């Protein structure tokens, strides 16, 4: 009986750890992009960013508008949001993702490829936003959901780089071998000198 209790406690602990790590795919996705040579940035929802203009349109589709941003003496920026469905809410910049139900990240590499990954608080919230946002529906129209969805995260990328970044996003990317990389050698370089006589 004592061994059974230990086993049960161990099983419960393993399930708890598994459920906590399975909550979001963004850590795995970030690791995949970093291994492929990308840097990442988190969007602060202050607007006026061409890169995140699609995200701003998605937030607008959800009837959430950031109407005021003021710097205070506090540690955070205050943001007042209004919605046509619930009452107006005042939140800090760190809480805006709780109001809209997602965070947004950009990944960029040295070739100026930029992709956007939206991390939803849950897969249910992702499906809800997909249903409510014509902008997001247009961005993924004609694409295979198995490519642009990874757990609770959704990929937005230009058509020119879509296939490449889907491989990274899904964790199937294999770095290309660099043909200009030479194997190290222990031999000293040899130089042939040509002499001429006058």
Full-model pTM: 0.65
Residues with Cβ within 8 Å of 41's Cβ and at least 6 positions away in sequence, in order, are: 105, 106, 107, 108
pLDDT above 80 for 10: no
- Report the distance separating Cα 108 and Cα 40, nearest Å: 6
Distances from the Cα of 197 to the Cα of 185, 191, 192, 194, angstroms: 35, 20, 16, 10
Model confidence over 111-137: pLDDT tens digits?
888 999 999 999 999 999 999 999 999
8 band by pLDDT with thresholds 50, 70 and 90: low
Residue 177 confidence class, pLDDT cut points 50, 70, 90: low
Quickly tell me which residue has 């929802």 as its tokens.
45
Pick the more confident residue, 30 or 91.
30
**Residue 45: what are its φ and ψ, rounded to 5°?**
60, 30
The whole-angstrom separation of Cα 128 and Cα 43 is 21
The CB-based long-range contact list for 178-186 (8 Å cut-off, 24+ gap) reads none
């Amino acid at each position: 009986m004592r061994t059974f209790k230990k086993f049960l406690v161990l099983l419960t602990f393993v399930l708890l750890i598994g459920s906590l790590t399975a909550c979001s795919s963004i850590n795995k996705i970030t690791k995949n992009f970093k291994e492929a040579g990308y840097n990442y940035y988190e969007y602060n929802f202050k607007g006026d960013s061409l890169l995140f203009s699609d995200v701003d349109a998605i937030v607008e589709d959800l009837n959430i508008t950031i109407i005021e941003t003021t710097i205070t003496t506090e540690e955070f920026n205050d943001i007042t949001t209004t919605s046509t469905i619930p009452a107006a809410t005042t939140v800090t910049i760190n809480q805006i993702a709780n109001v809209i139900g997602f965070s947004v990240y950009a990944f960029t590499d040295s070739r100026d490829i930029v992709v956007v990954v939206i991390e939803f608080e849950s897969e249910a919230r992702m499906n809800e936003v997909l249903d409510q946002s014509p902008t997001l529906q247009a961005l993924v129209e004609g694409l295979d959901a198995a490519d642009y969805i990874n757990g609770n995260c959704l990929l937005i990328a230009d058509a020119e780089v879509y296939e490449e970044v889907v491989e990274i996003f899904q964790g199937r990317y294999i770095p290309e071998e660099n043909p200009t990389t030479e194997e190290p050698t222990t031999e000293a370089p040899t130089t042939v000198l040509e002499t001429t006589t006058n």
